[in-house]
């Protein structure tokens, strides 16, 4: 199980390390009682306690609490009781979408019953650089509204209950509020719970070797329907991020999946053609995720009349690959 080799992948985890103080002021864990219990066999210990949400102090269920030798899920009230070995070198609390608690070499003692309090915070994901291109052969006034599955962190031009735009027939647009010209609309937002689509047996997408990510992206983006300018913008943003690791797992969300999982969009007048493209990726240190990967295929995108194209993406956490 992945939790038994966390120490080898700590660089991926974005962890919150343990706190040994008896007063817990933020997300983390604290020992609140530590007593000798002769009923526990020599060489063993029991770690018990409760897991709560840091933001509300509500119980947090289905948290994997464990050490090298054993792990258990917290119950509906956030409670757990874990039998472990004294020579275990890792203590962790993990739940997908939450910042992990991770401690190397915790000072647990032989035949002791250790009671701990755990507070976990929800990990925010960033919808990175969704940008919206709008094209029309004739001058056109357009209103655009975006409703992300989370809160905006930045928009450009400034989003004020939407964008009101004047499209130029030769490309670009003028924001009617500022009277400035822009090549595209830009937004970013925080979200949570975003993850790959997959089944128990397979996942549509790819595990790629990132030294070939440029040619990979050129092929897939051409198939999806991005033009040369859109591909250049996409690749110059995402290729450096993909290249931070040796391998990456990649999946695209298109159109309806984008609308349902990333952001709703309302455009007046209705576009004649619209394509929305969202990249999900996670860095890997080896080309294996435990699932059969099936390459995605994409329906053709025919540009006609008033055309809209949007792309964005999110880098997911390796530790959330829960296959």
User: What does each of the 323 residues of the chain score in pLDDT, given as a tens digit?
Assistant: 333 333 333 333 333 444 443 334 457 899 999 999 999 999 999 999 999 987 678 888 889 999 999 999 999 999 999 999 999 999 999 887 677 888 888 888 999 999 999 998 766 677 788 999 999 999 999 999 999 998 899 999 999 999 999 999 978 999 999 999 999 999 999 887 788 888 877 889 999 999 999 999 999 999 999 999 999 999 999 999 999 899 999 999 999 999 999 999 999 999 999 999 999 998 888 887 778 899 999 999 999 999 999 999 998 875 555 44
Q: What is the pLDDT of residue 18?
A: 43
Q: Nearest CA to 110 among 198, 205, 46, 153?
A: 46
- Residue 89 has φ and ψ, to the nearest 5°, of -110, 0
Number of domains in the chain: 2
CB 191 within 8 A of CB 148: yes
In this structure, the answer to whether residues 237 and 106 fall within a common structural domain is no
Residue 288, number of CB atoms within 10 A of its CB = 11
In this structure, the answer to whether residues 58 and 96 fall within a common structural domain is yes
Distances (CA, A) of 197 to 161, 252, 255, 265: 31, 10, 15, 22
Residue 14, number of CB atoms within 10 A of its CB = 13
Sheet containing 16-17, strands listed edge to edge, beginning at the edge strand earlier in sequence:
16-17, 101-104, 90-94, 64-67, 71-73
In this structure, the answer to whether residues 104 and 178 fall within a common structural domain is no
How far apart are the C-alpha atoms of 51 and 27, rounded to whole Å?
11
In this structure, the answer to whether residues 98 and 130 fall within a common structural domain is no
The CATH number for 62's domain is 2.60.40.1120
Q: What is the pLDDT of residue 20?
A: 40
In this structure, the answer to whether residues 197 and 309 fall within a common structural domain is yes
In this structure, the answer to whether residues 288 and 314 fall within a common structural domain is yes
In this structure, the answer to whether residues 61 and 205 fall within a common structural domain is no
Q: What is the pLDDT of residue 320?
A: 52
Encode 232-248: b = buried (16+ Cβ within 10 Å), e = exposed: ebbbebbeebbeebebb
Q: Nearest CA to 208 among 282, 277, 319?
A: 282
In this structure, the answer to whether residues 103 and 157 fall within a common structural domain is no
In this structure, the answer to whether residues 220 and 153 fall within a common structural domain is yes
In this structure, the answer to whether residues 91 and 157 fall within a common structural domain is no
Domain interval for residue 249 = 125-320
- DSSP annotation string for 235-290: HHHHHHHHTTSSEEEEEEEETHHHHHHTEEEEEESPPSEEEEEEEEEEEESSS--S
Half-sphere exposure of 80 (CA within 13 A, CB side): 28
CB 280 within 8 A of CB 252: yes
Beta-carbon contacts of 323 under 8 Å, excluding residues fewer than 6 positions away, are 198, 203, 289, 290, 291
In this structure, the answer to whether residues 114 and 135 fall within a common structural domain is no
How far apart are the C-alpha atoms of 126 and 281, rounded to whole Å?
12
């Amino acid at each position: 199980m992945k939790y038994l080799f966390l120490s080898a992948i700590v660089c991926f985890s974005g962890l919150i390390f343990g706190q040994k103080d008896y007063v817990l002021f933020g997300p983390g864990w604290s020992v609140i009682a530590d007593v000798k219990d002769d009923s526990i066999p020599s060489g063993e210990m029991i770690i018990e306690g409760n897991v709560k949400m840091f933001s509300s102090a509500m119980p947090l269920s289905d948290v994997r609490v464990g050490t090298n030798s054993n792990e258990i899920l917290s119950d509906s009230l956030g409670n757990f009781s874990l039998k472990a070995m004294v020579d275990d070198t890792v203590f962790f609390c993990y739940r997908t979408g939450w910042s992990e608690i991770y401690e190397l070499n915790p000072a647990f003692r032989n035949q002791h019953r250790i009671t701990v309090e755990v507070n976990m915070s929800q990990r925010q994901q960033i919808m990175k650089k969704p940008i919206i291109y709008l094209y029309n052969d004739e001058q056109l006034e357009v209103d655009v509204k975006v409703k992300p599955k989370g809160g905006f962190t930045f928009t450009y031009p400034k989003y004020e209950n939407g964008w009101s735009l004047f499209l130029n027939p030769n490309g670009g647009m003028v924001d009617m509020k500022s009277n400035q010209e822009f090549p595209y609309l830009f937004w970013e937002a925080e979200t949570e719970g975003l993850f790959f689509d997959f089944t128990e047996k397979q996942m549509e997408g790819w595990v790629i070797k990132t030294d070939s990510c440029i040619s990979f992206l050129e092929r897939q983006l051409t198939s999806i329907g991005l033009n040369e300018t859109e591909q250049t913008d996409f690749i110059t943003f995402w290729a450096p991020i993909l290249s931070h690791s040796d391998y990456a797992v990649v999946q695209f969300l298109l159109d309806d999946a984008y609308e349902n999982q990333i952001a709703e969009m309302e455009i007046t007048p209705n576009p004649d053609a619209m394509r929305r493209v969202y990249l999900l990726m996670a860095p890997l240190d080896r080309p294996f995720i435990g699932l059969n990967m099936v390459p995605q295929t994409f329906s053709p995108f025919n540009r006609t009349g008033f055309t809209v194209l949007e792309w964005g993406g999110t880098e997911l956490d390796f530790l959330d690959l829960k296959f």
